[in-house]
Amino acid sequence: MFEGFYFEFPKLSFLLFVFLACENLCPLRSQLLYFPHISRFGDAGVKSPAWMWISKWLMIVFLIVTVMSPVKEIQEIPRFEGHSTLIVADSPNEEMKAKIASFIELREHDEIALYVPKNVKIPLTRDHEALLSILNKLPKTPNVQIDYTIKEFLSSQERPWIVIFSEHPKIFIHSIPTQIETSVVPQQQWKEWMKKSNREHVTIPIVTQITQLEYLYFYPLFFGFMAMLVYLFGRNQRGFL
């Protein structure tokens, strides 16, 4: 529960001892707010109730905790780097759309681009839901060769990978640069191929050195303010000065 919790200025806790010393050593004054000797004021026998004593010290403690600046380190969510994957599909009928959707679900950490001749060129994105939404709205198109802009699509990426969904993949293979890894999804046993390909194209975990801090000073400040209001209310009551 308290893992990663600490104070930025823990040495300011000495202020509590200053208040304790003043409570016992500071001379009595008629208009005190922080160190009142309530039992010494008013008529003989009139004493401050326990709840006033508690509210006073709660106010002091919470305000000291506030200036000590409590913080909590937030653990980074593990992030993975996948491939920069370009999906090429020449005729996205319902069967092919289902295949592409299954592939995208397996590659959750990839940046994925989509190219369908004459219809759509979607650049690399991690928003796979939007990608699938666009894919489902595409009409079936005739086979068209891959163009020059697609050749340059993945040229600057570190881990490029082109995956072709086509009944006639040769028209695409001859147009793709040889230095980019290219895979063709088979017409039969494509599920087994996807599982095997997913194992071969592993993701790389990325360790980030940035530590995020959540500042929690608002909570003791709020409770200290509420305790101060209760204490001031008690002081203004008749008989407690």
Identify the pLDDT of residue 77: 66
pLDDT per position as a tens digit, 84-112:
898 988 777 888 889 999 999 999 889 89
Instruction: Report CA 105 to chain centroid distance, whole Å.
Output: 22
- In order of start, what are the domains of the chain with their CATH numbers? 5-75+211-235 (no CATH), 79-206 (3.40.50)
Across all residues in the chain, what is the average pLDDT? 79
Identify the pLDDT of residue 201: 86
Band (241; pLDDT cuts 50, 70, 90): very low
In angstroms, the CA 67 to CA 13 distance is 9
Neighbouring-strand partners of residue 233: none
Letter string b/e over residues 5-17, b meaning 16 or more CB atoms within 10 A of that residue's CB:
eebeeeeeeeeee
Identify the pLDDT of residue 49: 80
Indicate yes or no: pTM above 0.85: no
pLDDT per position as a tens digit, 113-131:
888 877 778 888 889 999 8
pLDDT per position as a tens digit, 24-51:
777 655 554 554 555 555 544 456 688 8
Angle between helices 94-106 and 128-136 (to 10 degrees): 180
